[in-house]
Structure 1
Amino acid sequence: MNAVNKNELIGRKASAYAPASTGNVSVGFDLLGAALVRIDQQPLGDTVHVEFSQQDEMINSGEFAHVCPTDKMQNLAWIAYVLFRSKLSNSDEYPAVKMELVKSLPVGSGLGSSACSVVASLTALNRLFELPYTDQALLTLMGEVEAGASGDLHYDNVAPSYFGGLQLMSPHESAPVINLPNPDSWYWVVAFPGFSLPTKEAREVLPKQVDKSVAIYNAQYLSAFVAYLYQGEQTLAAKTIKDVIAEPYRADLIAGFKSSKQHLLEQGALAVGISGAGPTLFALTSDLAQAEKYKNYLEQNYIQQEENQANKGFVHICQCAIQGAKDIELSN
């Protein structure tokens, strides 16, 4: 690298797309997350383009560019870049960077919007700088930036967004995530109502401690969920998706959640829960025709219809995305 003039690097480009994710999956508070891909193959996530340039520059574009801070130092994508560069031992050998965040997810949606910005940024930067960080080191950087946004360090959004699939967090630093069997028979109907619920606010309503019986129930549901997946019992796994930790306290923060959940369960949904910290709702079914019915119901009954909303609500039918940002290549 020392033999290469900085100017010779100017113009080199790299890109990355990070898929949306649903954190917790109800049954695994702060421990479980799934990457999502729309079945119509339209994007549900963020894209970042980076390029070596004469000077640092940050551009926001995309459907939800209006939710991005105008001050780049408040933008998570740029914060990720600053951290990325600060950890490099040979940072001075590289030119400045021009970054474009194509924001396709609303902030505070419960679909890992902040994680998408962070994961896409760091993945693109790692490619631009010719892979100075290992997967584990990059994941650590992602968690550090995400912690600044949510107030707590957890990987249930960044890990699936980066690696893809259904990821369980591990207590071992040398192997921080476990890739669980993919529940490929599930359709995830995700409904964002059109208003945001900041993660920090959603965490503030949670109790500092839980009763022993609640802790036991939670452990029972999560362990059964994992065991059923490894046994190939995807329907039974879905039916163990229950949230006894966060949902009882967060449900009242989300208009229409309780009534929609009750209706969907009565209509045969395998599970219904809050995606991440909310307000997005997810419903699981193994029947595509049922998924379409749930989508129609949620569009009529869960999405806010007020005019002049900063964000428009949406409902998408998804599956668990096998590929994350690590393996998705984009052409510049």
Structure 2
Amino acid sequence: MPTTPITTAPAPNWRTQFPTYLQLMRADKPIGTLLLLWPTLWAIWIASAGRPKLSTVVLFALGTFLMRSAGCVANDWADQDIDRHVARTQNRPFARNAVTPREAKRLILILCALAALCLIPFSYTTWLMAIPALCLAFTYPFAKRFFPIPQLYLGLAFSFGIPMAFVAIIGSVPAIAWWLFFANVFWTLAYDTLYAMADKEDDLKIGIKTSAITFGSYDAEAAMLCHGIADILMIQVGSQLGAAWVYWAALILVVYWQWQQYLRVESRNRQACHAAFLDNNRIGWLWLAAIAAHFAFY
């Protein structure tokens, strides 16, 4: 009696799939890595009094890229059914069936292992600080199912590089680190609300929760309120630093840029909202430049 041969799915070819994996990691869209990196660099510069070790900067920057990439893979895996119904995300690898869950698992494990290697030179406490950051990053996609303001959840995840940097450099987390931490939480809530405004119509149709939906017609005003709270907390950071004039000049420019964002998103136009979100990259680098300049003038 003839038997039917058992066939198995061919193993993925990493060489041919590599461009797809890079897209899955958002390597072609560095804005997320930059927005995660800037606050970590603020913390590194402050903790090291303006003289950070190059190795510390490189390891934290590399770790930031790797963990953001792992988070993107996990997010797309969890959101694949949602992404197929959102215009902006329909071409993502999972949404178009270009990768499998097995490939995603392997890629996440590799990225997390490489990120862990970046922590080897640092203390045990630094490793402990990484645990809540990891948990928040990988549970964020599911927060959108039940939490009315998942952008706040993301803000917490995006801020753990700050206490990690302080612990790695000085072995403790002083008050200024927590002011910086919460400033970044509100800054993240502000810019990710702008990001959510671009997808608001699609998100309403598929029933997921975002801050833009929760804040309703006051979404732009809520984003600016969060910017304002972040600015007040950065004033406290500057006060504790005894910041030089350049820090306060940067604050004025930051507020002006935020006002420009508000004028841009008043129309609720999808492209305008996304452009306002991208504009936050220059706020991140300006604060880093101001902090570095403070220590140069101090």
Normalising by structure 2, we get a TM-score of 0.33
Normalising by structure 1, we get a TM-score of 0.30
